[in-house]
């Protein structure tokens, strides 16, 4: 079974149902997560000891970096029915993570068009870690921050020539990058002038949280076959409700690739219809990463 055969097997009623989106469901999840983020930010700012601040910064950072999964969803404009809400939320999430949303949308749609294709998938421009040293560097998040900063600078200052950006979109992508860059410069100036709030509730937390997102994202395609069958080149990871809540149901990742127009809150239903066809799955992120570590080489190997 491949994605085309699966889609052809759905009834018209099922396709209509799965295409329906809701502002209510998306806003409920958004409100839950951002109320918790606000509480953790307040606890960080009110804490008197550095140790206690760090205790609250870690879950805050995890929540902030996992807004990447919401940014990802807004790139498909599926978590909310309203395009304006999708775009506004995408800008918020993108700013937190150095990922301008319109650029990310085009990058990500190219990934969907050429999933796990070594020649065309832009996510494979950087190799997956092959050694223990590469794995640890990857998980640290340092390479992703550096890559995001380089892309932002390049888009703001150079001619945009990525194959996934249509010529008519280049000016808008450059304008977006320049606006984001100006905002980051303003934030940096504020920090240099002594503003510690941004460090406490944003910069340090996302640095602490990024390794958890790297551990999560590595499971999506790493080690999957380089085929055009989305049931084979994408991994669904079985996990608990908390992780699915945090990641906007994206652990159902093969299901998302097979049917990207489905809102996050209906992916479990797509899973029930398609689980017999899933070729690559993992029983949790700890198990996936443990197995990945075992299969990577020592530097001298």
Could you read off the pLDDT of 56-79 as tens digits, one per residue?
999 999 999 999 999 999 999 999
| Mean pLDDT for all residues in the chain | 96
The pLDDT of residue 241: 98
Residue 131 neighbours by CB under 8 Å, 6+ apart: 296, 297, 298, 299, 301
Which structural domain, as residue segments, surrounds residue 245?
A: 3-295
**Confidence check: pLDDT of 301 > 50:** no
Beta bridge pairs of residue 281: 236
Give me the mean pLDDT over the 87-109 stretch: 98
Looking at the chain, the whole-number percentage of residues with pLDDT higher than 70 is 99
The H-assigned helical ranges of 83-203 are 83-96, 101-113, 132-140, 142-157, 170-192, 197-198
The pLDDT of residue 299: 55
**Confidence check: pLDDT of 298 > 70:** no
> For tokens 């398609």, what's the residue?
274
Residue 16 falls inside a structural domain: yes
Q: How far, CA to CA in Å, does 288 sit from each of 39, 72, 197, 235?
A: 32, 22, 36, 10
**Confidence check: pLDDT of 204 > 60:** yes
Give per-residue pLDDT as tens, 249-274: 999 999 999 999 999 999 999 999 99
**Confidence check: pLDDT of 81 > 80:** yes
Residue 97 falls inside a structural domain: yes
Q: How many domains does the chain have?
A: 1
The pLDDT of residue 161: 86
Give the helix/strand (H/E) hosting 236.
strand 236-237
Residue 205 falls inside a structural domain: yes
**Measured distance CA(249)–CA(97) in Å, rounded:** 20
**Confidence check: pLDDT of 168 > 80:** yes
Residue 300 falls inside a structural domain: no
**Confidence check: pLDDT of 192 > 70:** yes
The pLDDT of residue 297: 72
The pLDDT of residue 126: 82
Residue 9 falls inside a structural domain: yes
Give per-residue pLDDT as tens, 105-147: 999 999 999 999 999 999 988 888 999 999 999 999 999 999 9
Residue 255 neighbours by CB under 8 Å, 6+ apart: 236, 262, 267, 270, 271, 274
Give me the mean pLDDT over the 67-96 stretch: 98
Residue 62 falls inside a structural domain: yes
Residue 301 falls inside a structural domain: no
């Amino acid at each position: 079974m491949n994605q085309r055969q699966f889609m052809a097997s759905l009834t018209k009623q099922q396709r209509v149902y799965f295409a329906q989106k809701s502002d209510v469901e998306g806003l409920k999840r958004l409100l839950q997560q951002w109320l918790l983020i606000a509480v953790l930010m307040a606890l960080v700012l009110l804490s008197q000891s550095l140790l206690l601040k760090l205790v609250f910064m870690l879950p805050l950072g995890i929540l902030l970096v996992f807004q990447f999964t919401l940014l990802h969803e807004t790139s498909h404009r599926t978590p909310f029915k309203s395009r304006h809400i999708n775009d506004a939320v995408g800008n918020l999430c993108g700013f937190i993570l150095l990922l301008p949303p319109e650029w990310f949308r085009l990058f990500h749609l190219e990934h969907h068009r050429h999933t796990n294709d070594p020649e065309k998938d832009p996510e494979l421009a950087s190799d997956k870690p092959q050694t223990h040293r590469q794995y640890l560097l990857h998980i640290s998040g340092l390479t992703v921050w550096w890559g995001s900063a380089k892309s932002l600078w390049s888009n703001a200052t150079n001619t945009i020539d990525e194959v996934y950006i249509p010529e008519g979109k280049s000016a808008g992508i450059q304008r977006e990058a320049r606006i984001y860059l100006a905002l980051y410069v303003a934030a940096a100036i504020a920090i240099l002038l002594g503003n510690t709030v941004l460090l406490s509730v944003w910069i340090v937390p996302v640095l602490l949280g990024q390794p958890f997102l790297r551990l999560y994202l590595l499971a999506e395609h790493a080690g999957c076959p380089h085929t055009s069958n989305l049931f084979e080149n994408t991994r669904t990871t079985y996990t608990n409700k908390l992780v699915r809540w945090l990641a906007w149901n994206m652990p159902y990742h093969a299901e998302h690739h097979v049917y990207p127009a489905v809102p996050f809150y209906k992916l479990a239903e797509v899973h029930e219809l398609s689980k017999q066809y899933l070729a690559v799955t993992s029983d949790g992120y700890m198990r996936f990463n443990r197995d990945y570590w075992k299969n990577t080489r020592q530097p001298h190997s």
